[in-house]
Amino acid sequence: MRWQNRRRSSNIEDRRGQRVSGSSAGAAPLLRLLPMLLGRKGGKWVVVIIGGLLVASYLGVDIPFLSASGPTGQQSAAYQPSAAEQELAEFTAVVLADTEETWGRIFSEGGGQYQEPTLVMFNGAVNSACGRADSAMGPFYCPADRKVYIDLSFYQDLKNRHNAPGDFAQAYVIAHEVGHHVQTLLGISPKVREEQARVSKSEANELSVRQELQADCFAGVWGYSANKFRDLLEPGDLEEALVAASAIGDDRLQQDARGYITPESFTHGTSQQRVKWFKRGFSSGDMRQCDTFSGAI
């Protein structure tokens, strides 16, 4: 990617070097359990209880095990990122800025105004409005505070564990999480959560897959824009993103982890599906081509 000497986003919150306190149990893990609880006897009441707790937390009632706003520690004065890590931080800020260019233009053309997300860099663990998260869970987007979270060490995992090297592979990951932010702004994410609360576990998982594939397609729309309007891509970049999309498909991850797959448990889509929808967004540059909720995927 031709990313050097490009604008860097100012919407960066650097928490690297902070020590995170508080329980690892938070709203995000509870939300992830909702589809499973709905499929069990008595799950209705469990969901009602959890829903009440989440509402109480949202309204400001102090519930310790749901709290994500407690002390996050102080910035470590001794923390000094390596030159390589700092270069990744600068790269991340450039990619975020470029997503701002893309979605700012698209929203403006549609008569709206794009509300830019904040990207939080952290080491090891972080507190968000969705709960406490460890870096092992990978980059994520929290709709409650509209922030993207990433431990920059994930880029190394992408290269070494998933065999998906390259800067455009890294950029794809950021653009995917920003895609979830776009879904939040469009009201898609709240509708998905509401529907997931009414259906079975397998149906809720399918909705999750469709939502993730749409975020992949939105990432492709960004890639199209970055290439056409700002000449950001170099030969081979597209292939890097496709390798990354394939590497983190549910079927590939399950097969590598345990030697078999269970399609009904997929939450992000197969390697083939992820590649398909990223390519659709990249080839069209049209977010209207990203309707993963209608028809087959």
Does residue 297 form part of some domain?
A: no
Does residue 165 form part of some domain?
A: yes
136: DSSP letter: G
pLDDT tens, residue order, the chain (297 aa): 999 999 999 999 999 998 887 544 444 444 444 444 444 445 544 444 445 444 444 433 333 333 333 333 344 557 788 999 999 999 999 999 999 999 999 999 999 999 999 999 999 999 999 999 999 999 999 999 999 999 999 999 999 999 999 999 999 999 999 999 999 999 999 999 999 999 999 999 999 999 999 999 999 999 999 999 999 999 999 999 999 999 999 999 999 999 999 999 999 999 999 999 999 999 999 999 999 999 999
Question: Looking at residue 77, what is its pLDDT?
Answer: 56
Q: How deeply is 146 buried, as exposed, middle or buried, from its count of CB atoms within 10 A (0-12, 13-18, 19+)?
A: middle
**N- to C-terminal Cα separation, the chain:** 30
What is the number of domains present in the chain?
1
Does residue 74 form part of some domain?
A: no
Does residue 159 form part of some domain?
A: yes
Does residue 105 form part of some domain?
A: yes
Hey, is 9 helix, strand or coil? Answer: coil
Q: Which of 98, 128, 101 is nearest to 13 (CA)?
A: 128
Do residues 223 and 285 lie in contact, with contact meaning Cβ atoms separated by under 8 Å? no
Does residue 138 form part of some domain?
A: yes
d(C-alpha 150, C-alpha 124), whole Å: 10
Does residue 221 form part of some domain?
A: yes
The domain in which residue 105 lies consists of: 12-19+82-289
Does residue 296 form part of some domain?
A: no
Q: Which two tokens stand for residue 47?
A: 């969901």
